[in-house]
Amino acid sequence: MPNSTEPLTRIRIGRDVSWIEPARRVPYGHVLYAAASLGRGPAAVVSELTALGFADIELPEVPLPLTVDPDDALLPKADTYNLSWLEVGTPVPLRHLLAAAGRQGLSPADAARRLTALGWTVPASHPLPETPDPRDIVLIRTDPRGNGEWLDWGGEASSGHVRKVARTLRCNPHTVATRLIALGIRLPYTPEPADERILEDPEGALGHVLTVAQETGRRPADIVARLSELGASRPGTVPDVREPDDLVILSENLDGRAPWLERNNVVGVRLHHILRAALATRRSPADIAERLDTLGHWLHENANVPATADEEDIRLLATVDRSFLDGVHLEHVLHSASRTGRSPADVAARLTALGYRLPDEVDYPEVRGAVRG
């Protein structure tokens, strides 16, 4: 025969069970969930538990609510591995509020109002967001190890934390920053509307900086200064004067748009890109190389820049995956020959003329092979 006290003393919540015994204090959260589950008022549940011998029952300092919505009764459930309830005499931690709001699909403001109505204190210093966002709990986690470490009310998040969370959530850092501010977290900077556009390129490429400067009418140096304030990646070199072709030669596809040319501090910019840019802008390769050097993309000193950009050279260099620091060996020459339809001897001679090192002592054949795709 089932125990008649069990509906009050053992309550199943999903896979968990909230159970109480007379020798231990009864959590207020248990009282609320029992009331919601049984369709009774919290005061009636307290009276029944008292009659059953439960002398120590946790209660709020405010009057008990007349009724409890089953969803609201889950709000005091602690965000822990084992089932536990938030103590009613303890201010609600920000982590608990956001976890509870996320579970119930509520906005932080709505969850705070409901917890307050049940008797808890939510120590928010200003109005909380009225829009729900299940990602809020991710915003305040500062250490993913174990049970984690969390920002609490009035805590400060570093700019590095903002960027890290943005990478985790795959969103703009400005989105993270403004939401953290709305949740009462302090930042080392004040978010500005223009930050969203400024932070769109996580690498802070010079092409992006010049584009934003052009769109906003601000100086490139001002954009870089703002990136510095935001703790974001930024280019090391910014031109004093922007030239008409800068965006074109800084773009991978030579269309003046992202993706932007990546800066390589080891082997420098590819000669292949310089020749393509020269053709696209009708400027000399030397002129392009000089301008890119000014923009922070230097060409390796071993490179020999041809006087004019030639389609044949561009096709040849497209098949070369070696830098000017690497040796171009027989297998590389044969690969380029097969891709371009040129003889190995012709390929070797041209790569040597362009500054590549061919250390193998080989007599390259003059015979052309069939072109392979």
Q: Is the dihedral of CA 182, 186, 187, 189 positive or negative?
A: positive
360: pLDDT confidence band, cut at 50, 70 and 90?
confident
Asked if residues 115 and 97 have their Cβ atoms less than 8 Å apart, the reply is: yes
Per-residue pLDDT, averaged over 330-337, amounts to: 95
366: pLDDT confidence band, cut at 50, 70 and 90?
confident
Per-residue pLDDT, averaged over 264-284, amounts to: 96
Distance (Å, whole) CA 56 – CA 49: 10
Name the token pair of 194: 């223009």
pLDDT at 26: 96
pLDDT at 322: 94
pLDDT at 13: 87
Asked if residues 252 and 260 have their Cβ atoms less than 8 Å apart, the reply is: yes
Distance (Å, whole) CA 228 – CA 249: 25
pLDDT at 372: 63
The overall average pLDDT reported for the chain is: 93
pLDDT at 2: 40
Could you tell me what percent of the chain has a pLDDT over 90?
A: 84
Instruction: List all residues 6 or more positions away from 241 whose beta carbon is below 8 Å from its beta carbon.
Output: none
Between 29 and 367, the more confident residue is 29
Q: Where are the domains of the chain?
A: 6-71, 196-229, 247-309, 322-373
Question: Residues 126-147: pLDDT tens digits?
Answer: 999 999 999 999 999 998 666 6
Q: Is 12 helix (H, G, I), strand (E, B) or coil?
A: strand
pTM: 0.78
Question: Residues 42-71: pLDDT tens digits?
Answer: 999 999 999 999 999 999 999 999 999 999
Per-residue pLDDT, averaged over 23-35, amounts to: 95
Question: Residues 197-246: pLDDT tens digits?
Answer: 999 998 999 999 999 999 999 999 999 999 999 999 999 889 988 899 99
Strand partners, 11: 18
pLDDT at 117: 96
Distance (Å, whole) CA 269 – CA 261: 9
Q: Tell how far CA 116 is from the center of its chain.
A: 33
Distances (CA, A) of 266 to 155, 184, 219, 269: 41, 44, 29, 9
Between 219 and 371, the more confident residue is 219
pLDDT at 211: 96
| Residue 373: pLDDT over 60 | no
Question: Residues 157-172: pLDDT tens digits?
Answer: 999 999 999 999 999 9
| Residue 104: pLDDT over 90 | yes
Residue count of the chain, please give it: 373
1: pLDDT confidence band, cut at 50, 70 and 90?
very low
152: pLDDT confidence band, cut at 50, 70 and 90?
very high
Asked if residues 253 and 260 have their Cβ atoms less than 8 Å apart, the reply is: no
